[in-house]
Amino acid sequence: MTDAAMLVQEVAPRDGLQIEAAWVETADKIALVDALSGTGFSRIEVSSFVSPKAVPALRDAAAVFSRIRRRPGTVYVALVPNPKGAERALAAGVDEINLVASVSETHNRANMGMSPADSIAGFARIMDSVRGAPVSINATVATAFGCPFEGGQPDDRVIAQVERYLSLGITGVTLADTTGMANPRQVERLVTRVLALVPAERLTLHFHNTRGVGLANVLAAWQAGARRFDAALGGLGGCPFAPGATGNICTEDLVSMAHEMGIPTGLDLPALIALSRDLPRLVGHDVPGQVAKAGRPCDLHPVPQGA
């Protein structure tokens, strides 16, 4: 366990900013992505090519991609729900497309306006159209650990969707706990099954901390052999069904836990903390991350006077 490294993919610019009510200027988004790449991320989910009407906060995806500084060794990812989005993403020069479909029929209809089967049929067309293009393809199983409308989803349906992705030639797979319903025992069970199909270096776990269990789920996934995790600076993000609840697991909290456990991430934690402390200025409100407030465990305090 000690020798393996953890790969953290930063998703704040996409999964974090997409839910912010106040507009974040394109220049500020670019500065955030560039600052993040400077802390050492090998993967950043930068934006998404979805309908600007559905997600107005990310309507400047192409502009952001055109002006970020491409750090050698960093893969710049965009979320894409359908063939039209894939076309725009390719034109914007993304390194990787992250397709997404929910395992829950109801959630996919609410989110994408079509059945999961229709979403995945679109992925097949995308795979045809990107053949030979300098882009890699990841696909996410959303609501893999539960749907806020339907409740728990059978593991077998998650596995079937992973197998369908692989049969299309998709190389990377993400299991997403879209609204923070996962628990450690379920995570251990499902990750163990999926790792029989997808090698650890191509499986990503995407947890939300909606119910406070995000890092416990990371621990369970890590123990089951997972090595790649999505996280958002400051714990940005959120859930439209849980006002006031926290969003994605927090990058700097995750990195602090990993480093304290002796697991390397290749990331500059003090730089991440400094960036996170600047987020309230950017988004106009406090953010849920804890390490940015408390400091690292090794950041000691002066002894009180008189002690």
Q: Which of the residues are catalytic?
A: 239
Part of the chain binding a copy of itself (CB under 8 A), chosen from 10-18, 22-30, 35-43, 244-252: 244-252
Question: Which residues in 146-185 contact a copy of itself (CB under 8 A)?
Answer: 146, 148-151, 180-181, 183-185
Rg value, the chain, Cα: 19
220 binds a copy of itself, rule: CB under 8 A:
yes
d(CA 63, CA 65): 5
Per the listing, tokens 């393996």 go with 4
Q: Residue 1 in contact with residue 264, Cβ under 8 Å?
A: no
d(CA 278, CA 132): 41
129 binds a copy of itself, rule: CB under 8 A:
no
Determine which residue in the list 246, 248, 265, 276 makes contact with a copy of itself, applying CB under 8 A. 246
Q: Residue 294 in contact with residue 280, Cβ under 8 Å?
A: no
Instruction: Mark residues 99-118: x for contact with a copy of itself by CB under 8 A, - for none.
Output: -------x--xx--x-----
Question: Which residues in 10-39 contact a copy of itself (CB under 8 A)?
Answer: none
Residue 110 or 117: the one with the smaller Cβ distance to a copy of itself is 110
Residue 172 or 180: the one with the smaller Cβ distance to a copy of itself is 180
Single-letter residue type at 13: P
Q: Residue 7 in contact with residue 43, Cβ under 8 Å?
A: yes
291 binds a copy of itself, rule: CB under 8 A:
yes
What is the largest distance, in Å, between two alpha-carbon atoms of the chain? 72
Q: Residue 95 in contact with residue 135, Cβ under 8 Å?
A: yes
- Enumerate binding residues for a copy of itself (CB under 8 A): 106, 109-110, 113, 146, 148-151, 180-181, 183-186, 209-216, 218-220, 235, 239, 241-246, 250, 253, 256-257, 260-262, 286, 289-291, 293-298, 300-304, 307
